[in-house]
Amino acid sequence: MYPGAHAATDPDRPAVIMAGSGERLTYGELEERSIRLAHALREAGLRRGDVVALLTDNTPSAFEVYWAAVRSGLYVTAVNSHLTPAEIAYVVEDSGAGALVVSAALAAAAAEVAALVPGLRVRLAFGGEVAGFADYEAALARCSPRPPADQPRGADMLYSSGTTGRPKGIRPELPDRQVHEEGDVLTPVVARLYGIGPGSRYLSPAPIYHAAPLRYCASTHALGGTVVLMEKFDPELALRSIERHHVTHSQWVPTMFVRMLKLPAQVRNRYDLSSHRVAVHAAAPCPAEVKQAMIEWWGPMLLEYYSSTEGIGMTFIDSAQWQRKPGSVGRAVLGELRICADDGRELPPGEVGTVYFSREEQSFEYWGDAEKTRSARHPEHPAWATVGDVGYLDDEGFLFLTDRKAFMIISGGVNIYPQEVEDLLALHPRIADVAVIGVPDAEMGESVKAVVQPAAGAEPGPELERELLEYVRARIAHYKAPSSVDFLAELPRTPTGKLVKGALKSRYASA
């Protein structure tokens, strides 16, 4: 299904409610406004397979853009709003976007991006004026509210950083069907596992440029539920939102659990959470003690899944199963799990190897990177795909992850790749050698640390640490920058010059 089906039967039902302000977008409004924007994009020359880039804060208008693209056979690329203008421009340009729609809340960055990517056919801004962009409302007003006769189904094309630090677009094949026709993979899973439907209110506290918030909100719309969208996450506001908006379902990353658990008991117990039935979590490993504390507080409503932006497969585990098998991320509910050795051999239960999902529908590619696309496939079974995670299956088919890609850092549910920071620091005149690793962090799961071998004549200490942190933060998004710097006389390398990061990570993990 799609929102138009619900607009036809109940146009006044809220599709989106902003958790803080209470602003609402009904299904009738979502349907009409997405139709008008679809016409505007088509009049500008965008056709099936073209790309609409979206730079936005959490706001109802974002879903108008999403559904306009999806009902037009277009790809929609939601861009991380915390990137620098140069990084945003890279994603917009690399995706081949023909249109860029932005929120006026991000006007300064958007104006810089417009100057860096001059070849866009469409530039629209909602929520206010943005230099270099046409008015979104004016564009909608001059277009028809009647749906086009042809509405081919589009898809998202989201970016996930590669091991070199450069983001890579994950581009699925477009389905050969109309937007109203059945065939979506995620939505039936969301309905079956979580029970989301027309009476549901789904709290989404995370930025919607991330894959899970964007896709789960879209599935909620397809199923006729109401998205309660937080402007940004705040632990007490999240609890207040559950009470105020009678939230039935929600989705979190473990960092959010930690921050809510750190609230004073009188604050945590202040709010009526009785409407809340299902709390979904994913995106990063959840410490066992944190998950157990949440189950004791909210009851056995925690449902965990493991998946990826690539959408190669999915596991699922409920609270009762997790208490029986703590640390597991569940059994496969989309695709079939395979654990393979480096040579491709399938391994038996209990043996650690690369995690693959086998699905006949493995049809994504890393945009512009044929080698990365090839390396994600099993060498002998092209329907088996991996994102490089490592783990093992037990005798009942429950998956336990033992690593999260090679040395990827997951901080607050966000994937950070060290290579980009290392490359930035490698040529700094006061650095001889550098490694960037994730170190345990009680709140964020992991935090980013730079381990530096100072150049000759450079004095290690607080002054140099401050200089290096400021140097990085001035050049890349702050969430990717190290929060601390340690100094060593020499970094561990093999005789061939390969950095032995495992030794560094083990040292900090044991500390």
Domains of the chain: 3-222 (3.40.50.980), 411-510 (3.30.300.30)
339-343 average pLDDT score: 93
Q: What is the predicted pLDDT for the residue at 198?
A: 96
- Distance, in Å, from the CA atom of 63 to the CA atom of 60, rounded to the nearest integer, reads 6
399-428 average pLDDT score: 79
Give the pLDDT band of residue 162 (cuts 50, 70, 90).
very low
Percent of the chain, pLDDT > 90?
Answer: 77
- 122 or 434, higher pLDDT: 122
pLDDT higher than threshold 80 for residue 382: yes
DSSP state of 304: E
> Which uninterrupted H or E stretch holds 186?
helix 186-194
28-56 average pLDDT score: 98
- Both ends of the chain: CA-CA distance in Å? 51
Q: What is the predicted pLDDT for the residue at 75?
A: 98
pLDDT higher than threshold 90 for residue 333: yes
Query: What is the torsional sign of CA 386, 255, 81, 164?
Result: negative
DSSP secondary structure letters along 367-400: TT-HHHHHHTB-SS-TTEE--S-EEEE-TT--EE
Q: What is the predicted pLDDT for the residue at 404?
A: 60
pLDDT higher than threshold 60 for residue 165: no
Q: What is the predicted pLDDT for the residue at 163?
A: 38
pLDDT higher than threshold 50 for residue 467: yes
Q: What is the predicted pLDDT for the residue at 456?
A: 87
pLDDT higher than threshold 90 for residue 193: yes
Mean residue pLDDT of the chain comes to 92
Q: What is the predicted pLDDT for the residue at 405?
A: 61
23-38 average pLDDT score: 98
Weakest-pLDDT range from 29-38, 141-150, 427-436: 427-436
Cα within 13 Å of Cα(213), Cβ side: 25
Check: CB of residue 138 under 8 Å from CB of residue 130.
no
Give the pLDDT band of residue 126 (cuts 50, 70, 90).
very high
Q: What is the predicted pLDDT for the residue at 254?
A: 85
Percent of the chain, pLDDT > 70?
Answer: 97
333-347 average pLDDT score: 95
Whether the full predicted model's pTM is greater than 0.75, yes or no, is: yes
Q: Report the amino acid identity of residue 308.
A: S
- Looking up tokens 């997951």 gives 410
Check: CB of residue 157 under 8 Å from CB of residue 76.
yes
pLDDT higher than threshold 80 for residue 346: yes
Give the pLDDT band of residue 406 (cuts 50, 70, 90).
low
Give the pLDDT band of residue 403 (cuts 50, 70, 90).
low
What long-range pairs does 216-220 form, CB within 8 A, spacing at least 24?
216/186, 216/190, 216/251, 216/280, 217/63, 218/63, 218/66, 218/67, 218/70, 219/184, 219/186, 219/187, 219/190, 219/191, 220/190, 220/196
Give the pLDDT band of residue 416 (cuts 50, 70, 90).
confident
Q: Are strands 99-103 and 51-55 parallel, antiparallel or unpaired?
A: parallel
Check: CB of residue 471 under 8 Å from CB of residue 428.
yes
Weakest-pLDDT range from 71-85, 148-162, 396-410, 461-475: 396-410
Check: CB of residue 260 under 8 Å from CB of residue 235.
yes
pLDDT higher than threshold 90 for residue 166: no
